[in-house]
Structure 1
Amino acid sequence: MNVYDRAYELARALKKSDEYRALLEARARVEEDPKNKEMLLEFKKRQLKIQKERLLGREVDEAELRRLEQLSELVNLNPTLKEFLSAEFRFTRLMGDIQKILSEPLSEWLQMTEEMFGSEKE
């Protein structure tokens, strides 16, 4: 069994998955309306900015949080954008599940390495 062949096979299977196809279709519908696309990009940009600040341990501006909440409400009232975010969530969950499966050998390797060489804490 060639691992690379299996990886390409997985990539092809992902492209054929219901989750991926739904995401592509939802994205196409978003892009049909420039206002929807602009609103989604603004929402994602603000969301990413807040996530970045939190990851860096910084205080998030209350006004920025309120603006994101307002934008989130607008996005969720828009069926096209709501559908896109739902499709994106399902595809992201699928990718996370696959990543977890693929990471299993890594955790086994790390455990084996720690057993062989000891923990850095020692």
Structure 2
Amino acid sequence: MNIYDKANEFAKELKDCPEVVNLREASKNIQNNDTNKKMLDDFRKLQIEAYSQQMQTGKVSDEITEKLKNLGPVISANPSVSNYIQAEQRFSVIWNDVLKILNDAIGVDFSFGMDK
């Protein structure tokens, strides 16, 4: 069996993995509701802004921290958005593990020039 056959086999397994099925269903619930989409978009924008500040200055501003803190209960009160974020986090763990396995198999350090 060649590497492409193995990749296709893996893709089939991944597609039916419970974490992927849950993420796909949660995503549909977000995409079908404009309010949910906006809430998730706003959350993502704040996350990106916080990450950018952290990378540039070494800390997140009090303003962004406060916005994230205030948005948390709003997201928790929305089952669709909360479920999506949880499903995404569970999938992310699996995906990162898979990437680590593949990177370890390659045996090359791809982080040249990056701070570790």
Cα distance in 2 between the residues matched to 1:26 and 1:84: 5
1:36-74 per-position Cα deviation (integer Å, ceiling 9, x unaligned): 110111001111121122123444321121011111221
Which structure is higher in helix share? 1
Report the counterpart of residue 74 of structure 1 in structure 2.
74
Identity score, percent? 30
Report the counterpart of residue 30 of structure 1 in structure 2.
30
Bigger radius of gyration among the two? 1
AA matched with 2:103: S
1:56-95 per-position Cα deviation (integer Å, ceiling 9, x unaligned): 3444321121011111221112111111111101111110
Report the counterpart of residue 44 of structure 2 in structure 1.
44
Cα distance in 2 between the residues matched to 1:60 and 1:88: 23
AA matched with 1:79: P
When normalised by structure 1's length, the TM-score is 0.79
Report the counterpart of residue 96 of structure 1 in structure 2.
96
AA matched with 1:68: L
CA RMSD of aligned residues (A): 1.7
Aligned-residue offset at 1:13: 1.5
When normalised by structure 2's length, the TM-score is 0.83
Segment of structure 1 superposing worse, 37-46 or 48-57: 48-57
Q: Flag structure 2 segments of 5+ consecutive residues without an equivalent.
A: 110-116
Q: Flag structure 1 segments of 5+ consecutive residues without an equivalent.
A: 111-122
